[in-house]
Amino acid sequence: MMTVIQIDKDLCTGCEECKKACPVDAIEGNPREAQTVNTDKCVMCGQCVQRCKSYVSIIDHGAAAYAKKRAERDLPETVKEPLFAAHNVSHLSEVIRALDDPNTYTIIQAAPAVRVGIAEDFGLPLGTLAPGKLAAMMRKIGFNKVYDTNFTADLTIMEEGTELVHRVTQKGVLPMFTSCCPAWVAYIEKNHPELSKHLSTCKSPQQMAGAVFKTYGAKINNVDPAKIFSVSVMPCTCKEYECSREEMADSGHRDVDVVITTRELAYLFKYKGIDFESLTEEDFDLPLGAYTGAGTIFGVTGGVMEAALRTGYNLITGKELEDVDIHPVRGTAGVRTAEIEVGDLTLKVGIITNLKNIGPVIEAVKAGTLDLHFVEVMTCPEGCVSGGGQPKLILPESIVEAYRNRRQALFDHDKELPKRKSHENEAIKQIYKEFLEKPNGEKSHHLLHTSYKGSPAAKGHGHH
């Protein structure tokens, strides 16, 4: 299994901040001694990376000591900020190589939470919403196509919503759990593989995007899929692991080639000498960069659930939900449940934020007492906006403010978009018409769905 999270024993002071943050007790060691990551337990969420306080800096330790660590981590020479003991393994050099190769067709996608995080690394207020600058910047770096993971967040809702309706109406395995958080999926596979049949078979938006870019995207861009190098920018460190899973190659190639974090994207901008402030806002490329408000709220806890309900209502009743702001599923409490009237059906839903809260839920599923149809699980404290790959904050009050502002910025973005339901996205209608045919159909099953370790369908799939 690939290494994603490491703790540098030369830098770790044993303050144990990482231990407090880890939702799965994967960090081991004595106080005031270097800690280690137990990879059998680690779900690669990177919360330790966010909380780590031990570092090397040019100012405190000198240029030579700093340069040595930077080289060990294969980071560009333009990186000058402190390097912390807990860190994710960087794949930035692979991206730089691909951008420099004229024979490579480079495509980049950015997750919903990136647009509310990236500006912080350029000194803008915490939670600044910057989709236009983000798109402009990625284009300026030299990517051939600048797409948006929000497009496939909308696609995920079409697939997952349809799957949920099938399970509810045809006595399928319930509750159905969301599958777009790879750290949560890794947790189930490592600890409770017998429950993986409860996971939605949908790939995450990132992986759906990768599969679409090298099939439908290759066709519309008239490019050989073998020449495509697909990069995704994620607020999440575990996405690096997800893209490397052996089953994530249904396009006939590696669906996503490399994942970099929001922080690493900032490194890349600085390496390319781009001034964030002076950028003029631009749009993402179409059609695979078109999105609705539903796609954008995937970045907050409860957002996948809310997006699914906006479309699920339509799938079940054939009518449109008038008030799309579904307040009962919003909030940041660790465990929330709600009952939503959908036509004749009372849909019972749950939202779990922070994997530390999953224990009782797992027990209830095993005992057969969890009376819910659909459950969203996000590993990080407030969902993807608080992911392990987001800009790093040191002060506790900054962390609280950043999470609040990033959340609010995504809800504001949802409100200002002309369309707020995934099934209203014209580019989504188009991809079904021209290529995928129908949600949960044969073609979308092959490209957009997967199986997990322990699930009955894991025919030689699953990772090792």
Q: Is 242 a catalytic residue?
A: yes
| Cα–Cα distance, 434 to 455 (Å, whole number) | 32
The catalytically annotated residue of 48, 384, 386, 422 is 384
Q: Is 384 a catalytic residue?
A: yes
Q: Indicate the Cα dihedral angle 318, 324, 328, 334, nearest 10°.
A: 100
- Cβ proximity of 379 and 187 under 8 Å: yes
The catalytically annotated residue of 247, 306, 376, 382 is 247
Q: Is 247 a catalytic residue?
A: yes
The catalytically annotated residue of 16, 159, 240, 242 is 242
Q: Is 200 a catalytic residue?
A: yes
292's tokens: 């609705």
The catalytically annotated residue of 18, 180, 236, 238 is 180
Contacts of 79 (CB under 8 A, 6+ apart): 70, 267, 270, 271
Task: Report which residue type is found at 201.
Answer: T
Q: Is 416 a catalytic residue?
A: no
SS3 435: helix
Distances (CA, A) of 106 to 8, 147, 219, 342, 425: 32, 11, 15, 43, 25
Q: Is 236 a catalytic residue?
A: no
Alpha carbon 419 to its chain's center: 22
The catalytically annotated residue of 160, 189, 306, 376 is 160
Contacts of 63 (CB under 8 A, 6+ apart): none
The catalytically annotated residue of 200, 230, 244, 444 is 200
Alpha carbon 424 to its chain's center: 23
Distances (CA, A) of 96 to 78, 80, 143, 194, 427: 13, 18, 11, 41, 30
Q: Active-site residues: which are they?
A: 160, 163, 180, 200, 239, 242, 247, 384
